Amino acid sequence: MDQTSGLKLHNSSSDHKSCMIKWSSFKQIKASGEGSVAGQLSEAHLNLVKENRLYVSIVVDVILYTAMQCIAQRGSKENSASSNRGNFLELLSLFAKYNDVVKKKLNEEGHKNSKYTSPKIQNEILFIISRMMLEKISTEINKASCFAVICDETKDISKTEQVSVLLRYYLDGTAYERFIGFHAAQDLNANSLFSYIKNLLQRCSVDIKRCVAQTYDGANVMSGRVGGVQKLFTDEVEQAIYVHCYSHRLNLVVVDICRNLTTANLFFGLIENLYVFVSGSAIHAQFINIQKELRPNKKPIELKKICYTRWTAQVFACLSLKKVFSELLILLNKLSVSKSARSAEALGLLHQLDYTFIFNLCMYSQLLSIFKNASDYLQKVTSNLSEANILITSIYDTIMKMRTDDKNETFMEIFSETEKICADNNIPIEATARRRKMPKKYMSYLVTEELNNLERSEIFNREDYLHKIFYPVLDFITNELQNRFEKNSPIVNTCDALHPENPSFLNYDKLLPMAQHYHSELEILQAELKIIPNTIKQYQIKTKVNIKNIMDFIDMLQKYDLVFPEILKLGVIGVTIPVSSAACERTFSCLRRLKTYLRNKMSDERLVHLAIINIEPETAKSLDTSKIVDEFDAAHKNRRIILH
């Protein structure tokens, strides 16, 4: 037979040989029982999906890590030639050293459009994470019986007004304050701000009608009784009472002391001048060296700046100055005799650090420390109205006791400390120099008059310090505390009756305003109040737990929720009403870390997603990464990387 035609030709063809190889392979697979080709293809698909999901999970984890650590993700140059492509890509490259899957996906042989490292993909994943977190927070809020709104605004590095909104609620024995977003406000009028709060609650699937309180600072646009946000909110939800932030009010008491009392104004002005003088680079270095020489085993202390918007700035400024007062005197003396350009300024400051200044330093260090302790408590999430009211009352009583004490023990303590510091630093304990008066012929040229002659008059002895400095400060503090805290709503004051250590604990007349406002069944409430004292007594004996505060009281009520539903309702509302808007201040700290000078072009959407992750890290850590990948996969179709 001809070898160049027919079967002989086909037998030697490449197509025939290829088919025979496939046939032989098929018989071997079938004989070995390894499964069909389709089965192998299915297994290969599963392995590919597994690799892809692992890779995307690592991408998600890197984004979560950088967001929670509040570090920049993108670099200025992210191409392969750059030595630093940003934290996100550099972290993925680090993973690639130890993980073959990441290495394979990131190498140059892979598809450039399937690495999933672009800013667009980052934003998609951030959106999915923040949405899942808000859903989880919303679920918790909806489990709670009620919630309260906390809101404040600030300006970021790009001069954009950012409004921060948090929700406070009580659930399973704990009070929470959860951040739900920033809003770049175009308008700062009350209608716009209220609309944003309302729309944000709707997006989070939270019923605004369950809101029981709202807390803002004292800005008129927020607190205005006619057209402020709180009025618009109350028109929508009648039960949502407004509480002026206690921390802001307490700080305003201190600020008013510093600004309105002449002696205080001069004293804190001098502290600020000392801070500015010492802050100069060359002088600051000398100040630190003097501290190291005199106190070699202690960390150098920096002078603090006076800032009226920071709640504890004044007390820290006083305390830090008192600790390094001797070192400061050495510095000023050294500079005053030098031939430097600052010698005259140093000499002028040195002459002002006299006996009166030290007395003020000791006095304000002690008085403002009382406010600091209260301010620290008010900034805690665990703070509540009943204990806050007790704390403010105790401050008022403490100041009044100082004022009415016949022995003047606090004053004598301050006076003794002043004399000791003067003796230790060789400062004369003598009368303040008499102020030189303006000649009568020039009096007509004065534009202003001295309105407070008592404060500006000369001080010569201990009685003058008592009556012309110490007493006026105490009187001013008590008046300010009364003016700023006695105008509380009757409902706010009702919370005192829910605290076990308050004399009016569970008094029906005291609880009545709150019960009526929140539509309690008054007859049922009266019946509960008759039997609850004995229940508390028996509960403490049985459990050996002393009910000392409102949280202990509510914990007991929840065990008898069917017996005391109305008291439990009022108790939960009492701990839900916010004391301060300090939680917003904490979100502003996050904002300053996120939107920096180098990151001021960040979009508002990306900023919100990053902020939610950073401010609520516990919720972010509780998310299931595989579910994030599923959401990422479901959001798109026809991806180049197969995830299911």
* String of DSSP letters for 275-330: HHHHTSHHHHHHHHHHHHHH-TTS---------TTSTTHHHHHHHHHHHTHHHHHH
Name the least confident of 112-121, 196-205, 350-359: 112-121
Q: pLDDT digits over 95-138, tens only? A: 888 988 888 888 755 556 678 888 888 999 999 999 999 999 99
Average pLDDT over residues 432-441: 56
Q: Look up residue 46 and give its DSSP letter.
A: H
Q: What is the chain's Cα-based Rg?
A: 35
- Tell me the C-alpha distance between 53 and 94, whole Å: 19
Can you tell me which residue has the tokens 């009368």? 431
In this prediction, residue 49 carries a pLDDT of 83
Q: Rounded distance, CA 168 to CA 177, Å?
A: 4
pLDDT (0 to 100) of residue 454: 40
Instruction: Report pLDDT digits (tens) over 511-521.
Output: 999 999 999 99
For residue 113, what pLDDT is reported? 62
pLDDT of amino acid 2: 56
How confident is the model over 256-287, as pLDDT tens digits?
888 888 889 999 999 999 999 998 888 999 99
Predicted confidence (pLDDT) at residue 51 exceeds the cutoff of 90: no
What confidence score (pLDDT) does residue 394 get? 92
Q: How confident is the model at residue 455 (pLDDT cuts 50, 70, 90)?
A: very low
Q: What is the pLDDT of the chain when averaged over all its residues?
A: 86
For the stretch 294-325, pLDDT in tens is 888 889 999 999 887 777 888 999 999 999 99
Q: Residue 437: pLDDT band by 50, 70, 90 thresholds?
A: low
Q: What percent of the chain has pLDDT over 90?
A: 52
**Single-letter residue type at 615:** I
Pairing relationship of beta strands 211-216 and 147-155 according to DSSP bridges? parallel
Domains of the chain: 140-244+580-605 (3.30.420.10), 250-438+453-485 (no CATH), 490-576 (no CATH)
Angle (CA) 358-363-368 rounded to 5° is 130
Per-residue pLDDT of 483-499, as tens digits, reads 988 877 788 888 889 99
Give the residue among 513, 514, 496 at the shortest CA–CA distance from 505.
Answer: 496
pLDDT given at position 458: 54
Structure tokens at 536: 């508390």
Can you say whether the dihedral through the CA atoms of 384, 385, 390, 392 is positive or negative? Answer: positive
Instruction: Give the residue with greater pLDDT, 389 vs 443.
Output: 389
CB of 620 closer than 8 Å to CB of 178: no
34 pLDDT higher than 60: no
* SS3 category, 177: strand
Task: Give residue-wise pLDDT tens across range 506-560.
Answer: 999 999 999 999 999 999 999 999 999 999 999 999 988 899 889 999 999 999 9
